[in-house]
Amino acid sequence: MSRFQNRRSVVLVVALLAGGASLVSCGSSSPSSDTALASTADTALADASDTTLAGKSEEPKVALPKVAPTKLVITDITDGTGAGAAAGDLLAVHYVGVLSSDGMRFDGNFGSSPFSFTLGKSQVIKGWDEGLLGMKTGGMRQLDIPADLAYGDSGSGDIIKPGAALSFVVEMVGIIPATNPADEPKLTIAGATASSTLQSKDLVEGKGKVIAAGDTVALHIVAYRGDTGEKITSTWPEGAPVSLTLEEGGSLPGIIKGVPGMKVGGRRQMTIPFADAFGADGNSEMKLPAKTDLVLVVDLIAAL
């Protein structure tokens, strides 16, 4: 099974993760879909100030169904608390997956960073998009998924053969509700000559966890041309924030350097020299000319 990729259409997300980098640290075969992430502090930031996610490290056993499922079967092992997951929410989960027929394990991430995706956006197999609706934080759920809601007649990789039913146990590590696109910060960015160093300033001081290099975070990002201040793209219209790991290869060097030190719930403006952004060539998809700095306004929604 191929590594999970966030297939969000926002150009910024694609560009920031160019080169095939995954948005989160996860196993090599996560359940991806075959069809296919100065204003005052807003509600989303206020609600996120204490959002830090943590889950169990011990991998649970999957109870095999007596017969291969022909429809989605949902079994709650632990109920969890709080609001149930809804379409558009960013979910962080631990999971283990096996073949329903014989229990052969093909993937799992208990004991490592949570796997995150936006529910209901076809970023995962249909059995997950349907089966995780209503699940609550701290809950654990088994999903027995028929082939037509998994990989169908195509299968995936060497283990998941065509027509294979799959069984998962999923732990809901955290739920980040979809944010309101209207809460996108409305800023006027002054154009400037190219800078040789990363510059940053906090527009909103967060109250949650202090982020360090290596952490996995959920962010909203608005991007501007450094020379003119023209807005070029934003993640806010998509609703859910994007997640990434602050490590080499996980994103642009400027983001890896610029986000650590922020607190969850904060908003930071940073000017990234073109050498730590898209280099001397710029980025044609983002309409960012050659040797042009990138200005980002980053909202730190959660630590995953």
Any idea which residues carry the catalytic annotation?
Answer: 95, 106-107, 125, 151, 168
SS3 144: strand
Instruction: Look at residues 103, 121, 263 and name the one whose alpha carbon lies nearest to residue 178.
Output: 121
Contact 131, 74 (CB under 8 A): yes
Residues 182, 198, 225: CA angle, nearest 5 degrees: 45
Tokens of residue 96, six digits: 């283990």
SS3 213: coil
CA separation for the pair 289, 79 (Å, rounded): 51
Alpha-carbon dihedral 214, 220, 224, 230, rounded to 10 degrees: 180
Per DSSP bridges, beta strands 231-234 and 105-108 are: unpaired
Q: Compute the Cα dihedral for 153, 159, 164, 169 and give only its sign.
A: negative
What single-letter DSSP state applies at residue 98?
E
| Main-chain dihedrals φ then ψ at residue 86, nearest 5 degrees | -125, 160
Q: Please report which residue ranges of 43-172 form alpha helices under DSSP H.
A: 43-48, 126-131
CA separation for the pair 242, 251 (Å, rounded): 12
